[in-house]
């Protein structure tokens, strides 16, 4: 099972609403979260290796998330599930919804992107592992399936760490895990015919009420443009007398 999120396309410069209540998403291009796209690609590769029998793409959000799921199906997922709601979904709520789907589908492996590029929370995978009581490996840069196990190379501050998980397990993907394939036109057409089931949080028995309140949103302060100096002596003088950092 692979979780995918619909986010603002990474090429788009996001604008803050004039009243500071959030991001202005009107007429903004949306796409699959890049880390989640890597997760889908890895799941499809595991299936191609014979280590997986089926890939289920899952998304939580509005009806527009069907477009994101169809993108995952075009990459190679076999079927999709949408948990449709208009509520603001925070990481804990998403983790609870994924747990409910795990209880229904009983997947041996759940792969998520390490974080979403819209909120950068990096929480859902860890919360899901805690809720279901399964082993987890975050920031994965390499997966090697075994007999009922999964060897994961993960990126840490000091370099790389390799661990072995006993399945079922939860994995979150890092950038260097793979490079997602482009969805071909035939696969995009096939994706339109693949099954996509829809549930609501109420049907899954999950309370998705927000636990956090956003007080305000503001753009970062503009940085002053740089200044060229003729030599090192001038640079040192400016750092000492004007910037006062030395």
DSSP β-bridge partners for residue 181: none
Residue 143 lies in a domain: yes
Name the DSSP class of 194: S
Domain that holds residue 67: 2-241
Q: Is residue 224 part of a domain?
A: yes
Q: Is residue 246 part of a domain?
A: no
| 28 located within any domain | yes
Here the CATH number for the domain that contains residue 220 is: 3.40.50.620
Contact 242, 234 (CB under 8 A): no
pLDDT at 177: 93
Phi, psi for residue 122 in degrees, rounded to 5: 55, 50
Q: Render each residue's pLDDT in the chain as its tens digit; 246 residues.
A: 999 999 999 888 888 888 888 888 888 899 999 999 999 999 999 999 999 999 999 999 999 999 999 999 999 999 999 999 999 899 999 999 999 999 999 999 999 999 999 889 999 999 999 999 999 999 999 999 999 999 999 999 889 999 999 999 999 999 999 999 999 999 999 999 999 999 999 999 999 999 888 888 888 888 888 889 999 999 999 999 988 888
SS3 category, 79: strand
The number of folded domains in the chain is 1
Question: Is 85 contained in some domain?
Answer: yes
pTM confidence score? 0.85
Is 26 a domain residue?
yes
Six-digit token pair at 114?
């390490």
Q: How many CB atoms lie within 10 A of CB 109?
A: 22
pLDDT at position 62 is: 93
Q: Does 118 fall in a domain?
A: yes
Residue 169: inside a domain, yes or no? yes
């Amino acid at each position: 099972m692979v979780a995918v999120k619909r986010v603002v396309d990474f090429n788009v410069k996001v604008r803050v609403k004039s009243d500071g209540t959030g991001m202005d998403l009107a007429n903004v291009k949306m796409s699959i979260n890049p880390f989640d796209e890597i997760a889908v690609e890895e799941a499809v590769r595991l299936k191609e290796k014979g280590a997986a029998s089926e890939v289920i793409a899952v998304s939580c959000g509005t009806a527009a998330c069907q477009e994101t799921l169809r993108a995952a199906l075009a990459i190679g997922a076999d079927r999709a599930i949408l948990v449709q709601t208009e509520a603001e979904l925070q990481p804990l709520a998403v983790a609870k919804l994924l747990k409910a789907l795990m209880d229904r589908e009983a997947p041996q492996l759940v792969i998520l992107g390490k974080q979403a590029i819209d909120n950068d929370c990096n929480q859902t995978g860890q919360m899901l592992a805690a809720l279901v009581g399964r082993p987890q490996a975050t920031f994965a840069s390499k997966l090697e399936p075994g007999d009922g196990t999964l060897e994961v190379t993960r990126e840490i501050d000091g370099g790389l760490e390799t661990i072995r998980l006993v399945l079922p397990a939860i994995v979150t993907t890092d950038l260097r895990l793979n490079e997602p394939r482009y969805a071909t036109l035939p696969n995009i057409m096939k994706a339109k015919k693949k099954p996509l089931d829809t549930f609501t949080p109420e049907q899954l028995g999950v309370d998705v009420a927000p636990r956090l309140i956003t007080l305000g949103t503001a753009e970062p302060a503009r940085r002053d443009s740089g200044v060229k100096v003729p030599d090192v002596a001038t640079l040192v003088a400016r750092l000492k007398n004007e910037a006062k950092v030395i």
